[in-house]
Chain A
Amino acid sequence: MRQATAKKSDVLLWAYCVVSLLPLWWLLVTALKPLGLPTESLPGALLPTAITWEHFQKVVAAEGFMRAFLNSVLVSTTTAVLNVASSTLLAFALHRQLLPCQGLWMTLILLVTAAPFQVIMIPLYLWVSTLGLTDRPESPVPVWLGLILPYAISGFGILFLKSAFEQIPRSIFDAATLDGCNQWQTLCRVALRPITPSLITLFVISLIGNWGEFLWPNLLIVEPTHLTLPLALARLQQAFTDNWRLIAAGAIISLTPTMMLFVWLQRYIVPTQNAEGEKG
């Protein structure tokens, strides 16, 4: 009886898993489908009866698409590294109560974490323009600084790493102080190693988030050569309306790094606490 119901529930689970991946499967099949074969009707749309790479070649050759890919690699990696570094520093300072006005900082960080980006977007835009970090034809550096700096720290990251630091027994910090470590040495030699999994989690979450970031770059970037990948993809769709094979190929290219990262670092990303000995 128990076995039988367990099987029924498994059928439901795997059915949902497969169905939820079908849209992505359709995207891949469409990207590889030669012109003339159906991409809309069943079952042809889901079967890779013939394969062509021409849509991928066309997208790669499309003006600025691969440039946007490289821009995205550069911007999102830099942002993620900076976010992990700065969130670690602030989380450590807050956990060890090294800053004046501890309570005020916590309130501000909670406020910033709760505030939707849309609220700060407009003043941030005016402010970044005042700082001269708007897009100019000659160099992508100012606009990229404008893109990177707001995301070089996150309220979520600070709170997440602070709770990671809280898992370290207090006695370890006391021992470090007794041994004459200053705060810098305590952080680097004692506190970083136990929270390494959390650092990796924050890095990957931040990397994947920035890789797909659309709203802020869409406001800031004007020059076609400075576009990041999500913007280039949205423009590809505007340029090739209804050519779903090309759009699908572009989407698959933008998905590939995320999916590789996900498969590689899945256990750091999928939040399954207490997985009871099973590797998530």
Chain B
Amino acid sequence: MAAPLSSWRRDPFYWAVLLPVVVLIAFWVWPLFGALLVSMADFTHDMHAPRFVGLENYTRLLSNPSTWATLGRTLLFCATVAPAMTLGGILLGLLCGEARPGMGLARGMLYVPVVTSFVVTALLWKGLLIEDGLINHTLSLLTGVLGLPAVRIPWLANPTTAMVGVTLAVVWKGLGYYAMFAVAQFQQRNKSLDEAALLDGASRWDLLWRITLPQLRPAVFLILLISTVGALKTFTEIYVMTNGGPANATETLAVSMLQRGFGELDLGGACVLGFVLMGLVIVLSAAQQWLQQQGQPHSETRR
């Protein structure tokens, strides 16, 4: 029921809404379709005169083993980050979910890393993870007790440990955010079930495993999906901490896109990688939409 044209003259709303419409189309919708065009063009010969090459960029990149290595690293990164966020988020959500005095403060403290910017997070962990850094010194205290030699791992400079360092920073920053999903779900649980179970003589352990956790299932899936999408898009931490190195050990899709596009000026190839990324994100987002609809059967009747 769009408004008849005559009302456009009398109602300033229609003039005001034109501006965001134009911005949305010009800076989001058009580039999104533009990415399709760029992915089918060759910019490597002349940056200013792209040549239409059809699906050549796609076949070139998909037959390149380094693309698959990058994709593998990206998926491995997601497969580490997402379960860590889910387990940690659910655990923290359970610990601070109840409405008791002090829990508001705890949630606030958990959220401080979330509002810390990406660059500060990256620099902070870079400083902690240097060879002579606080993390190694702390670990050395532990190994010292056990009579083992001091730990001197150059975390970010070593191809086998660089991803561990990046993962640590990403999980530290994200955990509080995902914990709030668990808190929200925890507070919506059916509390009369707890009382019934306790009356029936259930232990607290039974209550947790058989009553509370099953009710948190929607939050588990939501955190898994959203944190996987977040991990797929992770860029700034990796770029600032390792720039994809050492020896490409931390080069995920998002990082490799930028290097291909603006390092090698292969804009078409970079857009192909972008679509691989977007394909993964869209599948996950669709799953999330579907799950959210499953989780709220009464959303229509709510006022």
Contacts and interface: CB of A to CB of B under 8 A. Distances in A.
B118 A230 contact: yes
Interface in B252-278: 254, 257-258, 261-262, 267, 270-271, 274-275, 277-278
A24 interface: yes
Contact of B274 (A14, A26, A118, A271): A118
Interface centre among A13, A87, A215, A275 (most CB of B within 10 A): A13
B107 A270 contact: yes
B278 A116 contact: yes
Interface stretch (B24-32, B62-70, B156-164, B209-217): B24-32
Interface residues of B, number: 94
A177 to B, nearest CB: 12
Given A98-B2, A272-B184, A276-B187, A20 B270 contact: no
Interface in B115-133: 115-120, 123-128, 130, 132-133
Contact of A275 (B94, B187, B235): B187
A149 B23 contact: yes
A97 B28 contact: no
Given A90-B20, A152-B23, A40 B176 contact: no
A23 B120 CA distance: 11
Interface stretch (B53-61, B79-87, B98-106): B98-106
A275 B101 CA distance: 12
Contacts of A85: 20
A166 B35 CA distance: 34
A219 B236 CA distance: 12
Nearest to B183: A272
Interface residues of A, number: 96
A184 B12 contact: yes
A262 interface: yes
A119 B278 contact: yes
A111 interface: yes
B24 A90 contact: yes
Interface stretch (A51-59, A134-142, A192-200, A251-259): A251-259
Contact of A112 (B24, B103, B271): B24
Given A45-B134, A116-B278, A169-B303, A90 B31 contact: no
A20 B109 contact: yes
A27 B123 CA distance: 10
A214 B120 contact: no
Interface in A55-111: 85-87, 89-90, 92-93, 97-100, 102, 108-109, 111
A273 B184 contact: yes
Given A93-B17, A100-B2, A275-B99, A212 B137 contact: no
B282 interface: yes
Q: Chain A at the B interface: mostly helix, strand, loop or mixed? A: helix
B6 to A, nearest CB: 12
A43 B141 CA distance: 11
B117 A212 contact: yes
A20 B110 contact: yes
B14 interface: yes
A199 B28 CA distance: 22
A179 interface: no
A115 to B, nearest CB: 6
B73 interface: no
A175 interface: no
Contacts of B10: 182
A176 interface: no
Contacts of B112: 20-21, 24, 259, 262
A123 B271 contact: yes
Interface string B29-42: 11110110110000
B131 to A, nearest CB: 10
The 3 lowest CB-CB distance pairs between A and B, nearest first, are A212-B117, A123-B34, A86-B20
Interface of B: 1-3, 7, 10-14, 16-17, 19-21, 23-24, 26-32, 34-35, 37-38, 92, 94-96, 99, 101, 103-104, 106-113, 115-120, 123-128, 130, 132-134, 137-138, 141, 172, 175-176, 180-181, 183-184, 187-188, 204, 232-233, 235-236, 239-240, 254, 257-258, 261-262, 267, 270-271, 274-275, 277-278, 281-282, 285, 303
13 contacts: A23-B128, A24-B112, A27-B124, A27-B127, A86-B19, A116-B233, A116-B281, A119-B274, A149-B23, A153-B20, A214-B240, A272-B184, A278-B104
Interface of A: 1-2, 5, 9-10, 12-14, 16-17, 20-21, 23-24, 26-27, 30, 39-42, 45, 85-87, 89-90, 92-93, 97-100, 102, 108-109, 111-124, 126-127, 149-150, 152-153, 155, 167, 169, 182-184, 187, 208, 211-212, 214-215, 219, 230, 233-234, 237, 242, 244, 247-248, 251, 254-255, 258-259, 262, 266, 269-280
Given A89-B13, A212-B118, A274-B184, 15 more contacts: A2-B204, A89-B20, A108-B24, A118-B274, A122-B261, A123-B38, A152-B27, A234-B119, A248-B127, A255-B120, A258-B115, A262-B111, A262-B112, A270-B111, A272-B180
